């Protein structure tokens, strides 16, 4: 009995003394501090700039092994703003993004490749207007830590990439409106 008790105490001591391994932490996107913006060429004269103001999602961040991190995000198409009501109506309409038929765009990561101390390439499935295509986004971790205003752990990211609108079935005004859509996302995510 004494030997069994000694073994249990030793096992408990070893287990307690063993270092804890970091695990992924779920961070929810903060809608008030997340903006998905895009630019697209218009007739070669200028670029139209737009913003999708409403999004939600979760980043599962593994600080010890960033390549194990993952993300799922949804953007609401009807939240599109370009500073011109007529253009917004056209872009949300059937010829362009068809918000009535496809009210959201989604991204679900499939691979994270660390490219630097604070950077990574994130590959995932991007769905726009019901069409899913692979997309690669460049992600920069701006800062991770405790926010001074609410003492919550937060992570901020800048995300950039480029997609072909034709690949997702948007071919209106081909030859006049560019095919390449440049994406930039500024996002804040709060640990849960």
Distance CA 130, CA 97 (A): 10
* Structure tokens, 48: 């139209």
Whole-angstrom Cα distance, residue 50 to residue 185? 12
Which CATH number goes with the domain that contains 40? 2.40.128.110
pLDDT band at 81 (very low <50, low <70, confident <90, very high): very high
Given pLDDT bands bounded at 50, 70 and 90, which one contains residue 74?
Answer: very high
5: in domain: no
pLDDT over threshold 70, residue 101: yes
Flag whether 151 is in a domain.
yes
162, 184 contact by CB (below 8 A):
no
Residue 15 within a domain: no
* CA distances to 19, 41, 110, 185 from 140, in Å: 29, 25, 17, 10
pLDDT tens digits for range 106-132: 999 999 999 999 999 999 999 999 999
Angle, CA 101 vertex, CA 100 and CA 106 arms, to 5°: 100
Domain span holding position 123: 23-191
Using CB atoms within 10 Å of the CB of residue 116, give its burial: 0 to 12 exposed, 13 to 18 middle, 19+ buried: exposed
In a domain, 124, yes or no: yes
How far apart are the C-alpha atoms of 52 and 41, rounded to whole Å? 18
The total number of structural domains that make up the chain: 1
| Per-residue pLDDT band at 21 (split at 50, 70, 90) | low
pLDDT at residue number 19: 43
* 55 touches 74 (CB < 8 A): yes
């Amino acid at each position: 009995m004494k030997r069994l008790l000694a073994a249990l105490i030793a096992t408990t001591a070893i287990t307690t003394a063993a270092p804890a391994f970091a695990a992924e932490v779920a961070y929810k996107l903060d809608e008030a501090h997340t903006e998905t913006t895009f630019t697209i060429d218009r007739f070669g004269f200028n670029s139209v700039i737009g913003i999708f103001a409403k999004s939600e999602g979760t980043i599962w961040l593994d600080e010890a092994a960033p390549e194990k991190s993952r993300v799922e995000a949804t953007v609401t198409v009807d939240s599109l703003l370009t500073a011109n009501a007529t253009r917004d109506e056209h872009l949300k309409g059937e010829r362009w993004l068809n918000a009535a038929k496809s009210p959201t765009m989604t991204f679900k990561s499939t691979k994270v490749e660390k490219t630097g101390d604070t950077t990574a390439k994130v590959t995932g499935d991007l769905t726009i207007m019901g069409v899913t295509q692979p997309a690669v986004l460049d992600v920069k971790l701006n800062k991770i830590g405790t926010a001074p205003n609410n003492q919550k752990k937060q992570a901020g990211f800048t995300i950039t990439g480029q997609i072909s609108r034709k690949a997702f079935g948007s071919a209106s005004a081909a030859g006049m409106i560019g095919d390449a859509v440049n994406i930039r996302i500024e996002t804040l995510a709060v640990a849960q």
